[in-house]
Structure 1
């Protein structure tokens, strides 16, 4: 019996392609830009796209009282991860970094 392929399967494949190509794209980009500047631009674009999605789906912004907690979580859980990710890509090959991660 042939397995049924759904649109979700296609989206999962697309996500895998994006995730896998991320290492090569970052390696090329940081050879052209300083690593910190590249990551700042990358995160700014992601934030703008995320806010656009919030508006599109009419989701409310988090309460102002939650912003300090969210900022702290973002710094610890995302900023430091990205800093280590970029630094790791600088110091090793793309294939090594993808295997390590």
Structure 2
């Protein structure tokens, strides 16, 4: 599924954690009911680099490394042919939590 990139400004957040939580929430993730696999989420490589640089300027290299490891993919090959304002959300990226074979609602 492809959807619009959330419009967020790193300057509006106190830390990388708050920024990333809001990024994923705006993609539809509910952390109280769903698991998240950011490896199955991708953005345009130029967008990924721009966000990484903004994060680095705002909070330093440590936060940029968090974005690199826990943020969406920004693969140079752009395998999903994304434009800079789009996000690809793959199967299983956001999944309901299972308890004893039942979904939590």
Instruction: Report the TM range for the smaller structure's normalisation.
Output: under 0.3
Query: Radius of gyration: which is bigger?
Result: 1
The structure with the greater share of residues assigned to helix is 1
- What is the TM-score when the length of structure 1 is the normalising length? 0.26
Structure ranking higher in strand proportion: 2
